[in-house]
Amino acid sequence: MTTPAESFAPRRAEPIFARLAIIGIGLIGSSIAHAAKDLNLAGRIVLFDRDEAVRARARELGLGHEIAETARDAVRDADHIILCVPVGACGAVAAEIASELKPGAIMSDVGSVKNAVVEAVAPHLPEGVHFVPAHPVAGTENSGPDAGFPSLFLNRWCILTPPEGTDEAAIARTRQLWEGMGAIVEIMTAPHHDLVLAVTSHLPHLIAYNIVGTAEDLAAVTQSEVIKFSAGGFRDFTRIAASDPTMWRDVFLHNKDAVLEMLGRFSEDLSVLTRAIRYGDGETLHKHFTRTRAIRRGIVALGQEKPETEKLRKD
Ligand SMILES: NC(=O)c1ccc[n+]([C@@H]2O[C@H](COP(=O)([O-])OP(=O)(O)OC[C@H]3O[C@@H](n4cnc5c(N)ncnc54)[C@H](O)[C@@H]3O)[C@@H](O)[C@H]2O)c1
Ligand SMILES: O=C(O)C(=O)C[C@]1(C(=O)O)C=C[C@@H](O)C=C1
């Protein structure tokens, strides 16, 4: 059981959108469906997923008001459309649904990478359709329609990256939707988003995937003791490394330049620490660890270390 959204956010008397379409019913799509329905953010919520088993499960779970049989049926007459599919699938879905989008509709997405999504989606959008890309910086290592819960976005950032010249009213209504789900909205350009997220989200995932793989490769040497004694730091890495393979393959393929730039810097900094260990330079190590401890404490003081969402989920 998840905590109903009404326990942490007010239910609206009037919905923001008459018809909301969600394409892709995984962790993010189903979380939006839960929150938007509980809080009356949309009069009618229609969902679609290309996987028939996912559509069947979404019906069983009672997600939204309707599960459509095609993406085109789902978006017909929608005021707000959110693509909740892997980043690499956004362009193809946009091409598929474009002819059904009505003038004045707002097209959005939740992709973890923004520039590539803007470039893949924008060319397909008909005149009169507004484009307001979004990225809720909130998630878990789980995927699929059962993984969603309504408080996922509570007190978490949602970054909007509207292309220059985007209709201000469309941006304001998209902001309203995310704020309605409890998120804190920030606006920035897509390239800036990709650079920032490369270091705060994408690189940590790559490191986790790598360290867990290395430990597994060493399993023969350590007689599986890495797994047996994985109570602390390593266990945290295994959670991150359990994240969806398709989603993360697409993130790295579509934010290549920013990730490679950050990986280069990371390797240089790692060389400094490697050198300090090799030459017994305790001062360098101590100074570095003191600085990073202060960073963690700053994040905790700001209340941004996975706050209420985790607690609410366990209810
Ligand atoms: N998981 C996270 O932590 C997180 C957080 C923020 C944003 N995101 C972004 O949200 C998006 C969705 O991630 P998720 O975690 O919900 O993934 P998920 O794997 O839980 O769900 C994705 C769903 O999309 C469906 N799908 C794939 N291609 C499709 C297509 N062409 N048409 C229709 N449906 C299609 C899949 O069948 C699946 O059910 C990704 O772009 C990801 O980058 C994820
Ligand atoms: O908490 C987690 O499991 C996450 O990895 C969530 C996380 C993140 O890196 O913070 C992962 C990818 C998204 O694009 C946004 C959020």
CB of residue 138 inside a 6 A radius of ligand 2: yes
pLDDT at 313 over 60: no
CB of residue 49 inside a 6 A radius of ligand 1: yes
Q: 184 near 157, Cβ under 8 Å?
A: yes
Q: What is the pLDDT of residue 114?
A: 98
Paired with 19 in beta bridges are 44
Cβ-proximal residues to 214 (8 Å cutoff; 6+ apart), any chain: none
pLDDT tier, 223 (very low <50, low <70, confident <90, very high otherwise)? low
Question: pLDDT tens across 158-190, in order?
Answer: 999 999 999 999 999 999 999 999 999 999 999
CB of residue 27 inside a 6 A radius of ligand 1: yes
Q: What is the pLDDT of residue 51?
A: 98
ipTM over 0.95: yes
Nearest to 216 by CA among 182, 192, 242: 242
CB of residue 72 inside a 6 A radius of ligand 1: no
Question: Which atom number of ligand 1 is nearest to the Cα of residue 139?
Answer: 3
Probe target for ligand 1 pocket from 112, 140, 152, 205, with the most ligand atoms within 8 Å of CB:
112
CB of residue 5 inside a 6 A radius of ligand 1: no
> Average pLDDT of 123-131?
97
Nearest CA to ligand 2 atom 9: 201
Look up residue 154 and give its DSSP letter.
Answer: T
> Average pLDDT of 187-205?
97
Q: What is the pLDDT of residue 217?
A: 79
- Ligand 1 centre and the CA of 220: distance in Å? 35
CB of residue 21 inside a 6 A radius of ligand 1: no
Q: What is the pLDDT of residue 153?
A: 97
Q: Domains in the chain, please, with CATH? A: 5-188 (3.40.50.720), 193-313 (1.10.3660.10)
Q: What is the pLDDT of residue 306?
A: 55
Q: What is the pLDDT of residue 215?
A: 79
CB of residue 86 inside a 6 A radius of ligand 2: no
Q: In this structure, what are the phi and psi dihedrals at residue 81, rounded to the nearest 5 degrees?
A: -120, 130
Question: pLDDT tens across 75-101, in order?
Answer: 999 999 999 999 999 999 999 999 999
CB of residue 112 inside a 6 A radius of ligand 2: yes
pLDDT tier, 225 (very low <50, low <70, confident <90, very high otherwise)? confident
CB of residue 140 inside a 6 A radius of ligand 2: yes
> Average pLDDT of 51-68?
98
Query: What's the order of all strands across the beta sheet hosting 134-136?
Result: 134-136, 157-160, 184-187
Average confidence score pLDDT of the chain? 92
- Ligand 1 centre and the CA of 304: distance in Å? 24
Question: Which atom number of ligand 2 is nearest to the Cα of residue 240?
Answer: 3
Cβ-proximal residues to 270 (8 Å cutoff; 6+ apart), any chain: none
Percent of all residues in the chain with a pLDDT value above 90, rounded to a whole number: 80
Q: What is the pLDDT of residue 312?
A: 43
CB of residue 63 inside a 6 A radius of ligand 1: no
Q: What is the pLDDT of residue 293?
A: 93
Q: 75 near 13, Cβ under 8 Å?
A: no
| Burial zone of 248 (CB within 10 Å; 0-12 exposed, 13-18 middle, 19+ buried) | buried
What pairing do the DSSP bridges indicate for beta strands 134-136 and 157-160?
antiparallel
> Average pLDDT of 127-131?
97
pLDDT tier, 307 (very low <50, low <70, confident <90, very high otherwise)? very low
* Ligand nearest to the CA of residue 242, numbered in listed order: 2
